[in-house]
């Protein structure tokens, strides 16, 4: 047995949280707490980078597998990564330290508890992406609700209670049906081990219902139209670091779930329900883009844009084409970076002005130019300008979509235009124009830590925009294999 | 000659009760020593139960009217441990109300004795004897704080309704006796396989009586009032110990005498289960008193245990027993928290009194947070596994409707647990509570919370212990 690298990735943040638990919080001076948290997450990031380097890109089988008896004769604690999940793990370990640096400015009270919640959240999310057993997956998937509920509820804005409840109950409601499906799978096939399930497959007559049960959970978490309404509320009320976690990583759990479980376990049902997903995705793209155009609150606008982007992701996944799925994964990674960056940029001005309303701002370019440059970069990445990572994802998804269904692809392309519209309009209203608000004249440009965080995010966005090969190489074999497996399953029926 | 070692626990506990009563008569001011001695007695009884009966697969005594098997010994141990912990954390509360008397431990011991007889019974008469012994002790316990109107009211209510249900139960027993010609469970089991209506009546009456004892909907009406009115430590006792005993009897009735009549009772149990889960979840939403809220939540939890019983499989029974064991730990933890809400000799039991608790008492509220999430069934806490095992057993029998309704009602139930968490964590703080709690209270809270939190690391042990129980 090799060193259990995945388990240590999962456990390390929790251990860090435990350390924090025993450090006493002092008024005013919390540097120790922050450094402990930062140290933990940075070490975790380095481990995950090592994981990426040691990862063998030429095979689609799961690597770094750990398999231990957990509940005797029933469930094994089984974790492992393939080309698809490893990227999400790295995204998680990359975003979390940035979140922790950013709390400097946004979280004022009970910093220690906040960092504990974030660290535990990181553990759960890495767990979700590496679990290879349905029950273990469910455990991590649901457990994430607890810290997120507290993050929104304790540190959120004025309507935080409403948002926290909505977030919790919506996602719980979606997930309980998945639990029924997971237990049913156990009784149908005799195992909940994903690798074994890939091999033996699930009887056709159950697939549709099981697919729908999983869908009910993933659709809420993605979120897809019409069950997306928790997201804007949760985002708006969460503190900046919470929004970043939510947008960058939490939303990806469902997209990942669609690829790993819906496609992998129920290939025939996925084929059957493709029209449903197409319809919902297209509605999400067009409808939420239009809603985003009308928003007056910056965070809400970005939240709706997230729904639209996730619409692209679900669309890409269910094209069941190589390009579509690869595009979806890259889009998710890119959206993880871009939405995190956008929430942080909004957070920067919010910390100074305590307003998220677009109308408060205007003409920022003349007072804080550095900030405006970063904002421009992220806005352009969000609308998918070539040269940013957003472009690669959307382009591949649309390519896959055109192969599969012309009409859907055309409508989705309109969504791209709408995306450009709301993003550019937001940028124009906030950054350009006349500086009317007197208070804005005293606003300070990025401080050192903000500058650092935003550069950290800008670098991969640009890098992968010009040179997406590292990403594509990592996922390619796994995706090809998934498609092949899917096609053989379809052909055999 | 019968092997009396098997009922040594019952014998020992009866002798202890008599001894304690005599001690109380002859010694002035003996409450402290009675408490300690009764704790000691329970401890010894637990050890005897473990030594003498834990390895027994199945033995019967006294003309097969008493049965010792793996279920009875496990449930007795849970009952005893529950009683022990209730007694050990009661003292501060009782002293505050000046009811720290010798009767309290003696009554608890007698009701435990009654429950142990119930758990081991394999005969209608033995069962009824045990039931009445425990009920009589419980009536008095409910009114134990006799200077308070609410407590007397609770006791009276409990007495009247419980007597009614015992009557129904007895009537059902007589009908079943009429059909089978025997009071012995094994013989009844062999005799009963007809489809006659009157027999169905008998079964229904017995089930109604039992449903009343475990407060399943629609026979739950007494629970909120009695729970609210009784002294808090007695409420704790009510929510865990008699439930364990009544559940065992429930299992025994369904799967020994009525085993051949599954068609007739399965629907009833499914109904009781669904009604309890849904009603428990919905009715708790509007509550303002924590004890009333716990009453409704325990109604909901009984619904989940009944779901396991409805499966007519050994896995189902085992899952119910796992559920009730985890439920006992969670409730113990919850009440330990409740007993800590004390300020200047006054106990607080409204939900609003928890407001902003996390600011003044971060550790206490963290424990309560974990307990509440566990009660709501959120992974990775113990409460999730309890539900998981039950629904695993339910789905094995393809009872999808029951499983889906049950899981949806957990979402509704999550709402009121979240409401308490919201009040603790999101609202403004109030005055501090006293923090000079007794050591045992602290220990019981810490240990039970750690069990809840870390159950997921070693889930197999409990399953293994319970998997020895094979009733069918």
- Output the DSSP codes for B270-315: HHHHHHHHHHHHHHHTT--BHHHHHHHHHHHHHHHHHHHHTT-SHH
**Is omega for the bond preceding B401 within 30 degrees of 0, making it cis?**
no
Contacts of B411 in chain A (CB under 8 A): 169, 172-173, 176
Q: Looking at residue A251, what is its pLDDT?
A: 87
pLDDT (0 to 100) of residue A106: 66
DSSP state of B121: B
Q: How far apart are CA B439 and CA B448, in angstroms?
A: 14
Residue B415 to residue A70, Cβ atoms within 8 A: no
State both tokens at A351.
Answer: 């910390």
Extract the tokens encoding B113: 């004795």
Q: What is the pLDDT of residue B324?
A: 93
Q: Do B425 and A153 touch (CB under 8 A)?
A: yes
In this prediction, residues B398-408 reach a mean pLDDT of 89
Least confident of A166-180, A436-450, B331-345, B365-379: A436-450
Average pLDDT over residues B226-241: 90
Query: In the predicted model, is pLDDT for residue B131 greater than 60?
Result: yes
pLDDT at B433 over 60: yes
Q: What confidence score (pLDDT) does residue B112 get? A: 93
**Residue of B380, B400, B407 with shortest CB distance to A179:** B407
The pLDDT value given to residue B244? 92
For A1-37, how does the pLDDT look when each residue is reduced to its tens digit (9 = 90+)? 467 888 888 888 889 888 888 887 766 667 788 888 8
Question: What was the pLDDT predicted at B319?
Answer: 92
Quote the percentage of chain B above a pLDDT of 70.
99
Give the per-residue pLDDT at B247: 92
Pick the residue from chain A with its C-alpha nearest to B426: A154
Residues paired with A242 in a beta bridge: none
Q: Are B79 and B110 in contact (CB under 8 A)?
A: no
Residue from A69, A75, A180, A238 to probe the interface with B (highest B Cβ count within 10 Å):
A180
What is the per-residue pLDDT for B80? 93
* Cα(A84)–Cα(A86) distance, integer angstroms: 6
Task: Tell me what pLDDT residue B330 has.
Answer: 93
Positions of chain A with pLDDT under 70: 1-2, 26-29, 105-106, 493
Contact B108, B86 (CB under 8 A): yes
Q: What is the pLDDT of residues B239-282, one digit of tens each?
A: 999 999 999 999 988 888 888 888 888 889 999 999 999 999 99
On whether the CB atoms of residues B351 and B290 are closer than 8 A, the answer is: yes
Average pLDDT of the residues in B382-400: 90
Kindly determine whether residue B411 and residue A160, on different chains, have CB atoms separated by under 8 Å. no
Residues in CB range of B435: below 8 A, 6 or more apart: B361
CA distance A76 to chain B (A): 11
Residue of B nearest to A144 (CA): B379
Q: Would you call A66 helix, strand, or coil by DSSP?
A: strand
For chain B, say whether A452 makes contact (Cβ under 8 Å): no
Of residues A23, A38, A30, A13, the one with CA closest to residue A108:
A30
Predicted confidence (pLDDT) at residue B121 exceeds the cutoff of 60:
yes
What is the model's pLDDT at position B82?
92
Contact A183, B315 (CB under 8 A): no
Q: So what's the pLDDT on residue B299?
A: 92
Judged by a CB distance cut-off of 8 A, whether residue A23 touches chain B is no
pLDDT at residue number B119: 92
Q: Minimal Cα distance from A112: which residue of B?
A: B362
Instruction: Please tell me if residue B380 touches chain A, with a CB cutoff of 8 Å.
Output: yes
Q: Residues B36-42: what's their mean pLDDT?
A: 90
Work out the burial of residue B152: count CB atoms within 10 Å of its CB; fewer than 13 is exposed, 13-18 middle, 19 or more buried: middle
């Amino acid at each position: 047995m090799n060193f259990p690298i995945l388990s240590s990735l999962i456990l390390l943040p929790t251990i860090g949280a435990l350390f924090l638990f025993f450090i006493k919080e002092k008024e005013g001076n919390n540097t120790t707490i922050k450094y402990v948290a930062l140290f933990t997450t940075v070490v975790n990031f380095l481990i995950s980078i090592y994981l990426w380097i040691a990862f063998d890109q030429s095979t689609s089988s799961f690597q770094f597998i750990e398999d231990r008896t957990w509940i005797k004769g029933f469930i094994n604690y089984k974790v492992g990564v393939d080309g698809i999940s490893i990227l999400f793990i790295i995204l998680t370990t990359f975003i979390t330290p940035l979140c922790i640096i950013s709390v400097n400015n946004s979280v004022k009270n009970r910093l220690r508890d906040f960092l504990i919640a974030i660290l535990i959240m990181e553990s759960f999310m890495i767990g979700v992406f590496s679990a290879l057993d349905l029950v273990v997956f469910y455990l991590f998937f649901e457990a994430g609700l607890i810290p997120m509920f507290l993050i929104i509820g304790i540190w959120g804005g004025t309507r935080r209670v409403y948002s926290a409840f909505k977030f919790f109950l919506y996602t719980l409601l979606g997930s309980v049906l998945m639990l029924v499906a997971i237990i049913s799978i156990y009784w149908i096939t005799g195992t909940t081990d994903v690798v074994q399930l890939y091999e033996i497959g699930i009887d056709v007559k159950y697939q549709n219902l099981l697919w729908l049960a999983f869908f009910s959970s993933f659709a809420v978490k993605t979120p897809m139209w019409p069950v997306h309404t928790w997201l804007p509320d949760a985002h708006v009320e969460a503190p900046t670091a919470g929004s970043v976690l939510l947008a960058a990583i939490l939303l990806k759990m469902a997209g990942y779930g669609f690829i790993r479980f819906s496609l992998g376990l129920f290939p025939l049902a996925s084929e059957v329900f493709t029209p449903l997903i197409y319809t919902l995705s297209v509605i999400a793209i067009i409808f939420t883009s239009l809603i985003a155009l009308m928003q007056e609150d910056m965070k809400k606008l970005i939240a709706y844009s997230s729904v639209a982007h996730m619409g692209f992701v679900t669309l890409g996944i269910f094209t069941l084409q190589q390009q579509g799925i690869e595009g979806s994964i890259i889009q998710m990674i890119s959206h993880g970076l871009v939405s995190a960056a956008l929430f942080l940029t909004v957070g920067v001005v919010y910390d100074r002005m305590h307003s998220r309303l677009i109308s408060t701002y205007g003409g920022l370019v003349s007072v804080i130019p550095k900030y405006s440059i970063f904002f421009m970069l992220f806005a352009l990445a969000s609308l998918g300008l070539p040269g940013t990572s957003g472009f690669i994802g959307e382009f591949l998804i649309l390519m896959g979509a055109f192969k599969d269904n012309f009409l859907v692809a055309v409508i989705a392309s309109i969504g791209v235009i709408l995306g450009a519209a709301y993003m550019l309009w937001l940028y124009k209203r906030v950054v350009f124009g006349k500086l009317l608000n007197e208070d804005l004249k005293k606003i300070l440009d990025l401080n050192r830590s903000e500058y650092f965080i935003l550069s950290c995010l800008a670098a991969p966005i640009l890098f992968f925009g010009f040179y997406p090969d590292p990403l594509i190489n990592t996922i390619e074999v796994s995706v090809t294999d998934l498609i092949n497996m899917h096609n053989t399953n379809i052909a055999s029926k | 000659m019968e092997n009396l070692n098997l009922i040594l626990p019952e014998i020992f506990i009866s002798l202890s009760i008599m001894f304690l009563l005599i001690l109380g008569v002859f010694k002035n001011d003996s409450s402290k020593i009675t408490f300690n001695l009764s704790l000691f007695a329970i401890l010894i009884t637990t050890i005897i139960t473990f030594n003498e009966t834990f390895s027994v697969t199945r033995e019967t005594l006294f003309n097969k009217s008493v049965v010792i098997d793996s279920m009875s010994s496990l449930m007795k141990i849970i009952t005893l441990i529950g009683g022990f912990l209730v007694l050990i954390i009661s003292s501060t509360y009782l002293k505050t109300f000046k009811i720290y008397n010798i009767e309290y431990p003696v009554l608890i011991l007698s009701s435990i004795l009654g429950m142990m007889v119930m758990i081991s019974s394999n005969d209608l008469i033995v069962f009824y004897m045990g039931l009445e012994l425990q009920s009589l002790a419980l009536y008095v316990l409910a009114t134990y704080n006799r200077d308070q109107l609410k407590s007397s009211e609770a006791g009276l209510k409990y007495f009247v309704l419980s007597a009614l249900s015992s009557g129904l139960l007895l009537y059902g027993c007589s009908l079943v006796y009429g059909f089978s010609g025997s009071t012995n469970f094994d013989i009844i089991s062999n005799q009963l396989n007809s489809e006659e209506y009157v027999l169905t009546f008998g079964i229904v009456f017995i089930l109604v009586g039992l449903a009343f004892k475990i407060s399943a909907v629609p026979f739950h009406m007494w629970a909120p009032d009695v729970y609210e009115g009784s002294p808090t430590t007695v409420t704790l006792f009510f929510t865990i110990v008699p439930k364990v005993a009544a559940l065992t009897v429930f299992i025994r009735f369904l799967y020994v005498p009525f085993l051949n009549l599954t068609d007739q009772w399965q629907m009833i149990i499914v109904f009781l289960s669904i009604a309890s889960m849904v009603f428990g979840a919905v009715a708790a939403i509007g509550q303002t008193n924590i004890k009333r809220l716990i009453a409704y939540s325990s109604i909901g939890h009984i619904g989940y245990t009944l779901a396991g019983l409805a499966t007519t499989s050994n896995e189902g029974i085992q899952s119910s027993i796992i559920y009730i064991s985890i439920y006992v730990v969670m409730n113990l933890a919850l009440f330990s928290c409740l007993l800590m809400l004390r300020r200047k000799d006054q106990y607080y039991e409204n939900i609003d009194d928890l407001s902003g608790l996390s600011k003044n008492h971060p550790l206490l509220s963290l424990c309560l947070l974990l307990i509440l999430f566990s009660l709501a069934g959120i992974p990775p806490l113990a409460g999730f596994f309890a539900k998981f095992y039950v629904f695993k057993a339910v789905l094995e029998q393809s009872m999808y409707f029951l499983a889906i309704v049950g899981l949806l009602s957990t979402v509704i139930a999550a709402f009121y647990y979240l409401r308490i968490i919201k009040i603790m964590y999101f609202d403004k703080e109030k005055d501090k509570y006293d923090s000079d709690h007794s050591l045992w209270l602290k220990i019981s809270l810490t240990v039970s919370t750690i069990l809840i939190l870390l159950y997921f690391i070693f889930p197999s042990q409990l399953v293994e212990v319970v998997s020895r129980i094979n009733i069918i």
